[in-house]
Chains A and B, each alone.
Chain A
């Protein structure tokens, strides 16, 4: 998996790392059981601080996306979205969609973008329940 971070972006590095890993899980590049490099090795490969990678991994662990183990290192886990996550995610989606509406994007275009993005994540992901 390629992790690309943008140093000139306003998004903090740990957040970018976390986002890229979540996207890789959605795209099916990372599946349940896929190993991630040890924190120290990843920090050295990026030439960034150990704590930045540690923070990203910690976020992913809190969100139940990876499991940190002293022996096996970081491994991707599968989680089922609970009601708390659904509420939180809906709130964030609301903000993101509001931005589109506020900037005058037509609803059709927003929906088309959402559909094509979801489709790009591949067939390995569960379809939305009717």
Chain B
């Protein structure tokens, strides 16, 4: 129980911290997902909205966490704890949208883009001499998977006749199955699925289109290469840590261990990896234009493709992934037909994994 509370609180703190620092991490020319010229980055409206946003996030975050704790102490239902994290995310989006709306209104009223020379910058070397994919970082995940299979095969004869497939938040098993190969190795399928998905995302990120700043294209391109490589490493590292968590959970299942800290075996490696990945990406999320002379161009105004400030929908654009304007990493181009196929595929894999796990 204590473990469930600790994990949910850690997640809430992580989400809140990210929400509070994000305005300082994202590009100053895209405050709250509104594209503005560099001269307007410190406009009084932007400064005021940033302050208001932070106050709103903090207030609603404390309210949501308090609500979760009160509901939990009244009902004792551990499911309410992750719910309060979702509540914080929902409130966060509300705060973001209000700031986005205000800045968009100020931009339209003040004609911020009038007389600006809008441009597009492309680094052709990203295609003719792409950065090297960090293949070495892909190695740990398959090694952990093979280790899981080997340890499982060795231990199989000595495994208990009933396997604990799932533990409740208090560490007591709440779903069991008779010993079978499918049940014993069910988590290996999760490992394979997660690793394949994250490796695929890393590969897609490597092929994705950068959003270079036409005012400082050289520094921007240099930064993007570094960010690409870091992101791929973060994703592959996350895959390895999830696989490690699955190995830990499998060991608990195979030995029939029942302890109150069982959820920690899964949560700790994954939460650590998520925190490390977020911190690494957050520290490198903002490009620096050091020493690069200004070309006099401004990034083109592409607000009309961003719906609700967060969702990119552009049918003319052949890109599958585009850099997020508010947040870390990339987002899907919802106007691309391949996105629909991809989302359907991911849903099918998740569905398959859940069915496999429940039928086992």
- Which residues of A does B touch, CB under 8 Å? 1-9, 34-38, 40-48
What A residues does B318 contact at CB under 8 A?
Answer: 40, 43-44
Query: Shortest beta-carbon distance, B127 to chain A, in Å?
Result: 4
Check B297 for interface membership: any CB of A closer than 8 A. yes
Q: Could you say which residues of chain A place their CB within 8 Å of the CB of B58? A: none
With A1-B123, A38-B127, A45-B209 as given contacts, are A7 and B118 in contact (CB-CB < 8 Å)?
yes
Size bracket, chain B contacts = 20 to 34
Could you tell me if B118 and A37 are in contact, using CB atoms closer than 8 angstroms?
no
Instruction: Give A28 Cβ to nearest chain B Cβ, in Å.
Output: 15
Per-residue contact bits, chain B 111-128, to A (CB 8 Å; 1 contact, 0 not)? 000001111111111111
The distance from the CB of A59 to the nearest CB of chain B, in whole angstroms, is 17
Contacts of A5 in B (CB 8 A): 119-120
- B300 in contact with A7 (CB, 8 Å): yes
Interface centre among A40, A44, A48 (most CB of B within 10 A): A44
- State which of A3, A8, A48 has its C-beta within 8 Å of the C-beta of B121: A3
B128 with A37: CB separation less than 8 A: yes
Which residue of B124, B209, B214, B317 is within 8 Å of A1 (Cβ)? B124
Q: A-B pairs with the 10 shortest C-beta distances?
A: A37-B127, A2-B217, A44-B318, A35-B128, A45-B122, A7-B118, A3-B122, A4-B121, A6-B119, A8-B117
Q: Is B163 an interface residue (CB 8 A)?
A: no
B316 interface hit (Cβ, 8 Å): yes
Instruction: Give complex CA distance A6, B119 in Å.
Output: 4
**Is there contact, CB below 8 Å, between A36 and B214?**
no
Q: Which of B's residues lie within 8 Å of A, judged by CB?
A: 116-128, 209-210, 212, 214, 217-218, 221, 295, 297, 300, 314, 316-319
A4:B127 contact, CB within 8 angstroms: no
Specify which chain A residues have a CB less than 8 angstroms from the CB of B118 in the assembled complex.
6-8
A48 to B317, CA, bound (A): 8
Given known A8-B116, A45-B209, contact A2–B319 (CB-CB < 8 A): no
Smallest beta-carbon distance A77→chain B, Å: 16
A37, B127: Cα distance in complex, Å = 6
Q: Which residues of B contact A43 (CB under 8 A)?
A: 318
Minimum CB–CB distance from B66 to chain A (whole Å) comes to 45
Q: Determine which residue in A36, A37, A38 has the highest number of CB atoms from chain B within 10 A of its CB, and name it.
A: A37
Contact B295 A4 (CB under 8 A): yes
CB proximity of B294 to chain A, nearest CB, Å: 12
Q: How far is the CB of A17 from chain B (nearest CB, A)?
A: 9
A35-B128, A36-B128, A44-B319 known; A2+B121 contact, CB < 8 A: yes
User: A8 vs B119: C-alpha distance in the bound complex, in angstroms?
Assistant: 7
A36 to B126, CA, bound (A): 11
